[in-house]
Structure 1
Amino acid sequence: MIGVSTYLDPSVRWGVWHLPAALLPAGYPRLVRAAGGLTAMVPPDDPAHAAEVVARLDGVVVAGGPDVAPERYGAAREERTGPPAPERDAWELALIEAALSSGTPLLGICRGMQLMNVALGGTLIQHMDGHTEGIGAFGTHTVKPVPGTLYESIVPDASTDVPTYHHQAVDRLGRDLMVSAYAEDGTIEAVELPGPPWALGVQWHPEMGEDTRVMAALVRAAS
């Protein structure tokens, strides 16, 4: 059972309803299913409950989403940084801490990788260009694994084209994290802990592609 964090949207319309909603793009459960797992949606909640929630899961995915509040890593907000999502920041930081403390396998995707870095004391680049195809359009670029890393053991290809959509990235690495993949422009594209616990973050969006290897590795670790 793989728990995937969700958006919390204050106003969503479907049918005759216009209500707050916990949302998760369908690509996430589709990818978990294709990798051999089952998905539980994990919407923002009281951070005090995070350890109890993680204890009921076999693996945790912190999904993509809004920018991490720069106040979380001691930086001033820049002009192109997106609006804050304080409930989600607090909840997902608590999920990450609970997963690491309990040894529950953890995968961070895009924002999830950035938040893993922040949780461990790292910082972020608040804006960069060239990693999308425009507003609402995923791009594709090449990532290369770092030899000897967990990521390279999962995806041993010399290079891989991945679906990407982000304008922020890891700057200073968090405590104990190591880089496990780079983009051709030098952007950090994957980070991991030497482990245990099993903890990997990828900057791209595997749920938007057909390559199940990263998620399948999480499912194997979880089982």
Structure 2
Amino acid sequence: MRPIIGITSYVLPASWGVWTDLPTALVPHDYTEAVRLAGGRAVLLPPDDLDADVLDRIDGLVLAGGPDLEPSLYGQDRGPHTVTHPDRDAAELLLLRAALDRDLPVLGVCRGMQLLTVAAGGSLHQHLPDVLGHEKHRPGPGVYGSQLAVLDPGSRIAALMGEDLTINCFHHQGVADPGSLTVTGRAADGLPEVVEDPERRFVLGVQWHPEVSRDHRFFGALVAAASKELTQACADR
């Protein structure tokens, strides 16, 4: 059996065939294909803040990228560059907190890393150019910034990355305070690019987009952790 990996999804207007601008639950295919190539079975999780019961039926969770988090979640007023989807915030925080309670394997990508940070009591910079004085983390519309990560020796991320430290990021917000999480990787300008929770089996957040290159290092590690979750669940039955 392949482990089932839930992927949080956007709800945005989309068009296909004769249909135009229909509200649609979607994620870029890169996410689902990265999970499939790593040996998992991807399912989409549209925003739903009624309960977290779906966690009974999945073995791992991917917090996908997307819009900014509502700043009130970390004690700030909304800045002029911040664009939020509060319905997604509420649904994903419910799922994430329940997943952490269960020690379910979690991979946070870009916004997903920021969600992990906020759930851990941390905070964000709302617009990095105001803090860093440059736009290397989001060079332009639809253009990924290519950088080299600086990783902590002995960390999970260092073991996964090996010698290839190139990251492809697209974000205008970033982690200011990681809360209870551990920062294990940074960009050259010092901005946190990786957070981990060493107290849990597999909780990893990266500020870049490994799904774009179908990076087996990350999705393979998630699927491996989820496979152990599945094996344990079958044994418990």
TM-score by length of 1: 0.93
Letter in 2 for 1:195: E
Instruction: Report the CA distance between 1:187 and its aligned residue.
Output: 0.9
**Relative to 1, partners in 2 of residues 1:59 and 1:40: Cα closer, same or farther, differing over 3 Å?**
same
Residue pairs, 1:113-132, within 5 angstroms: 113-128=113-128, 129-132=135-138
Question: Structure 1, unaligned stretches of length 5 or more?
Answer: none
Cα shift at 1:138:
1.7
Q: Runs in 1 of length 4+ with deviation above 2 angstroms?
A: none
Q: Name the % identity.
A: 46
Cα pair 1:7 1:22 within 8 Å, conserved: yes
Q: Does 1:27 align with 2:39?
A: no
Q: How far is the alpha carbon of 1:76 from its aligned partner? A: 1.1
Could you say which structure has the larger radius of gyration?
2
Structure 1 residues 74-113: aligned runs within 5 Å: 74-82=75-83, 84-113=84-113
Question: Which one-letter code corresponds to 2:168 in the other structure?
Answer: P
Q: Residue 161 in 1 paired to residue 166 in 2?
A: yes
Q: Secondary structure at the match of 2:153?
A: coil
Given that 1:68 and 1:115 are in contact with CA atoms closer than 8 Å, whether structure 2 keeps it comes out as: yes
Q: 2:144 aligns with which of 138, 161, 168?
A: 138
Write the deviation string for residues 87-109 of structure 1: whole angstroms up to 9, x where unpaired. Answer: 10001111110110011100100
Number of residues paired by the alignment? 217
Say if 2:198 is the partner of 1:199.
no
Which residue of 2 is the match for residue 4 of structure 1?
7
Which amino acid in 2 is paired with 1:121?
G
Q: Give ranges in structure 2 of 5+ residues lacking alignment.
A: 129-134, 228-237
Residue 197 of structure 1, CA deviation: 3.5
> Which residue does the alignment assign to 1:182?
186
Contact 2:30 2:214 in 1 (8 A): no
Q: Give the distance between the partners of 1:16 and 1:108, measured in 2 at CA.
A: 35
Q: What's the secondary structure of 1:48's corresponding residue?
A: coil
- Asked if 2 retains the 8 angstrom alpha-carbon contact of 1:145 and 1:156, the reply is no
Is the 8 Å Cα contact of residues 163 and 209 (structure 1) preserved in structure 2?
no
The correspondence for 2:175, drawn from 164, 170, 175, is 170
The question of whether the paired residues in 1 share the 8 Å contact of 2:148 and 2:188 is answered with yes
Task: Measure, in 1, the Cα distance between the counterparts of 2:214 and 2:108.
Answer: 18
Deviation at 1:165, TM superposition (A): 0.4
User: Which is worse superposed, 92-101 or 15-24?
Assistant: 15-24
- Counterpart of 2:50 in structure 1: which amino acid? A
Local SS of the residue matching 1:179? strand
- Write the distance in 1 (CA, Å) between the matches of 2:33 and 2:97: 26
Amino acid paired to 1:168: Q
Q: Which residue pairs with 1:63 in the alignment?
A: 64
Q: TM-score, normalised by structure 2?
A: 0.88
